[in-house]
Amino acid sequence: MTISRFRFGPLAFCLIGLLLFFQMGRAEDTPTPAAASSLMTPKMRQELFDALDLTQPGLEAVQAAVSRHDLAVALAELARYFRTRTSVPWKFDPHAVDHNVPYNKQKADDAVLGRVQPDLLPLWHSFPDGKIDWFYNATFHTPGEAPNTAWQLQLVRMAWWTSLGSAYRATGDERYAQAWVRQFRSFAAQCPVVAENWNADGSAWRTLETGIRMSGSWPEAYHSFLLSPSFTDADLLLFLYLCREHAQFLEAHNTGGNWITMEMSGLYTVGALFPEFKQAREWRDYAFRRMSEQESIQLLPDGAQFELATGYHTVAIDNFLILADIAKLTGRVAEIPRDYITTLQKSFDYDMYMMTPDRFLPHFNDSWYVDIKGPLRRALQYFPRRKDYLWLTSDGKKGKPPVETSHQFPWAGYYVMRSGWDREANYLIFRAGPLGAGHQHQDCLNLLIWPFGRELLFGSSGGSYEVSKWRTYATSTYAANSVIIDGLTQMRPMVGKDPRQDPNRVSPVPIDAHWQSTPVFDFASGTYASDYGRPAEPPWSNTSTSQPKSRPATHHRDVLFLKPDLYVVADRLVPNDTSVHQYQARWQLLTTQSRIDPSTDTLVTTDPGRPNLAIVPLLGDGLTVTSASAQELPDILGWNVRKDMAPEYVPATTLLHTRQGTGVQNFLTLFLPLKAGAPNPVTSVKSTGPGAALVTLADGRQLAITADLNPSGSLEATETLADGSPGRHVKAGESHP
């Protein structure tokens, strides 16, 4: 799912160029795959028989043939055994014909012709004559595409094999089986297991892909085509041999992070589906043992997976559960370690409390749109008494809503402020914690807002791991809702031997964000006091010594939510010297429709028929307010850089609040969610003292906002109704140390 584990230094572009050179013409030169019988050498056949426990019930005929050295009969009997075996179930019965299987005919027909898409990346490629070159990278040959090593790495996940299998089960059309057999044989011929550099770019045996294949596309294809005449006995035996190679490889070379969750789910799947191997129990035990260890390493006490990337959180939890799912499916529930499942419950609570009003997860670090109702439905299979999971997955028709609305994650450093659980709720999430163990973005003190259920103040997904200016931009503070200083992005260190021992990456203790949550308001505070600089190319390398870093100032941010519809953000920038510095608060908006009122400098998004947002700067003296959409020069501004979506770069709007000077500098910003059709609600903004302003609204209300300008000061908001009577009032952060 990721290539960020591997660090690209200054030679990255040279290596990509070499790969491009050596791959020119490869697809055209790919030979027709040999028959499986010629791919299995006598030594391999002997290894396969030696690896099997022929004393297991049903293998008597195989054992007898082997004992009399009748290899032909032994091979035939072994194939017959696996084709007729019913002792190990799968998600569907390969012996039952079901023509109602849903399938994507276009995708399956394309795969027959060799037109395929690697797993997640949206770039398709047609291999000449349907001959797939498993080392080909289409991004190196497609004009306008940024080089992306993930294309070839995801190619060897064979994601489209599930489409071929579904099409075959639904239709019985041998074209689909024949295409799969050709591709399976070509992989066997082109990609023998490697002895070193297995996790290098361009590999067919990265441990990540090896695990993904074994828990996904390979067992799905095997069970789909098991009874096809195109899948010969020799093919079946070759498949068994390669599965054993995969399992041995995964046991010997597994890693960590979200990778190991996929490596071990693949290892356990092989051990559970093919218990006839002598090592099968060893593989299963090893997989559960390693995953139990990883639960204590990866899952923080508040339920967050330690990479702090919302998308990869669900990937890791999903793969933790794959082992339990396969154990249940194959009748091996007793192999699930004690507390293995219950430990995961907090991680589903994390999903629930992070969930946005539109039922997705917010984008932090490398991420994508995750519909959280799917994971919560799965959670209900293991935690059926959770009425809150049931309420959310049934859209409120069953169960009960969660007890809390707003919620803190003190180890992950996420603070969720919401008005309620309905789809039209106001929602803000504030990030005041560490980078995370992997997939990091330099976006400390970032915050996102959903006004009345609409994603609007948004966070970048980070792109698709391509080498490009877009990836550099999207992983930096330039694309975040935070503050840059002197044109520089945050530059916390992104590497270390053990992320649990690196406070930049994973907090060893709860973060004191001065969290307060009451029925009236929510409040949280955070500080960024680390490095600033210009990102190296590519941004995740963090190895270039030519990129100087500095600490021009410390950034303090307080966030106040006066429920249900008023947000105040106070930014205090405390310099570490006496020089003049420029400070720029950036606000990223998921729209290109907006207007800045010149009388108040208020920006209002103006999408008709949809909720909108007013952003009101309250400290106007010396402040410059501008905005940009779809700008590339001199700097990238106003873009949404998405992951694994086409198009990847979509115009948006960046609002810039800029000031400069010596000494402490402050921003005080009011965010007003607007219902669909509501006009600009702000008629005037008047300064009433240092750090204080009075906002008059079109409906006659007034809002008095005051920020103590000390770095650890309080925030106060007082509402006066149109008739002069008092409205809401709160003073938060008074206990700031």
| pLDDT, tens only, 569-624 | 999 999 999 999 999 999 999 999 999 999 999 999 999 999 999 999 999 999 99
Q: Which fold, 407-488+508-531+543-590+608-676? A: Beta-galactosidase; Chain A, domain 5 (2.70.98)
What is the pLDDT at residue 502? 84
Domains 25-242 and 407-488+508-531+543-590+608-676 share a fold: no
* Domain over 254-403 is classified CATH 1.50.10.100: yes
Q: Would you state the structure tokens that stand for residue 561, as one six-digit string?
A: 């939510």
pLDDT of res. 499: 82
Give whole-number Cα distances, 564 to 668, 679, 696, in Å: 20, 19, 19
The pLDDT score that the predictor gives to residue 737 is 52
For tokens 């994603």, what's the residue?
A: 455
pLDDT in tens, 134-159: 999 999 999 989 999 999 999 999 99
Token pair recorded at residue 77:
């009997």
| Whole-number pLDDT of residue 23 | 42
Confidence tier at 70 by pLDDT (50, 70, 90): very high
CA–CA dist 613, 587 (Å, integer) = 12
List C-alpha distances in Å: 288 to 6, 269, 323, 395.
26, 11, 7, 35
pLDDT at 736: 56
In the chain the first and final C-alpha atoms are separated, in Å, by 42
Domain ranges of the chain: 25-242, 254-403, 407-488+508-531+543-590+608-676
4 forms beta bridges with none
User: pLDDT at position 504, please?
Assistant: 84
Starting at the earlier edge strand, list the strands of the sheet with 483-485. Answer: 483-485, 581-589, 653-661, 624-628
Q: Are 5 and 256 in contact (CB under 8 A)?
A: no
- Percent of residues, the chain, with pLDDT higher than 70: 93
pLDDT tens track for 311-345: 999 999 999 999 999 999 999 999 999 999 999 99
Let me know if 131 is exposed, middle or buried by CB neighbors in 10 A (0-12, 13-18, 19+). Answer: middle
SS (H, E, C) 204-251: CCCHHHHHHHHHCHHHHHHHHHCCCCCCCHHHHHHHHHHHHHHHHHHH
pLDDT tens-digit series, residues 694-734: 999 999 999 999 999 887 789 999 999 999 999 999 999 87
Q: Give the residue from 452, 403, 408 showing the smallest Cα distance to 433.
A: 408
Q: What is the CATH number of domain 25-242?
A: 1.50.10.100
Helix (H) or strand (E) holding 682: strand 682-689
Mean pLDDT over residues 529-549, rounded?
67
Q: How far does Cα 597 stand from its chain's mean position?
A: 37
Query: Mind listing the pLDDT tens digit for each residue in 617-667?
Result: 999 999 999 999 999 999 999 999 999 999 999 999 999 999 999 999 999
Q: What confidence score (pLDDT) does residue 496 get?
A: 61
pLDDT category at 97 given cuts 50, 70, 90 is confident
Q: What is the pLDDT of residue 539?
A: 43
The answer to whether 439 and 366 are in contact (CB under 8 A) is yes
At 547 the pLDDT is: 64
pLDDT at 37: 77
Structure tokens at 431: 């990030």
Q: For the chain, how are helix, strand and coil distributed in percent, rounded to 5?
A: 35, 20, 45
pLDDT for residue 484 is more than 70: yes
Q: Across the chain, what does the average pLDDT equal?
A: 92
Q: Average of pLDDT values for 186-192?
A: 97
Neighbours of 76 (CB within 10 A): 16
Measured CA to CA, the distance from residue 479 to residue 459 in angstroms comes to 7
Per-residue pLDDT of 264-304, as tens digits, reads 999 999 999 999 999 999 999 999 999 999 999 999 999 99
